[in-house]
Amino acid sequence: MLRSTLKLLPFLFLVLFAANSCKKKSDPKSKTQLVTERDWKMTKFEVKENNNAWDDLLAGQPACDADDRHVFRTNNTYEINEGPSKCVPTDPQIVDNGTWSFGDNETKFIYDGIPFTIDQLDGNTLVISYTDNTSPPDVYYFKITFTH
């Protein structure tokens, strides 16, 4: 009995390997899918003036602000939602809305008309940055990190 089972073992491995090889690999998600499939929480809003150190403007924010959610929709609109907690209970749930899109072959994230560079975009993180040199001689750098 054991001998006949051992003879079948290579055949069983071959069948399992072939069946596993036939599984369809899932196509990678498009950037639009990555941005719109779930809402985002802004976890950092960093600003730097000239060559000074980065300053995270979200550090030390109360929890009622830190839990706000950014919802990007497939129709290129977005909304900022107060999230589970509000600092002022009578405030509206939706605190802002506007438009977003991609530009420059999806290397730019245009957020209310501002062309941010996409530094990172995957299933868990979106990092966008922008350089503002409209106030010479000063240059301001902005970097926003969103996570799920």
Domains and CATH numbers, the chain: 26-147 (2.40.128)
Tokens of 5: 């089972």
Q: pLDDT at position 34, please? A: 98
The string of pLDDT tens digits covering residues 11-40 is 545 555 555 555 567 789 999 999 999 999
The pTM score is: 0.81
Beta-carbon contacts of residue 62 (< 8 Å; ≥ 6 apart): 87
- The pLDDT of residue 18 is 55
Mean pLDDT of the chain: 90
Higher pLDDT, 60 or 129: 129
- Per residue in 93-125, pLDDT (tens digit) is 999 999 999 999 999 999 999 999 999 999 999
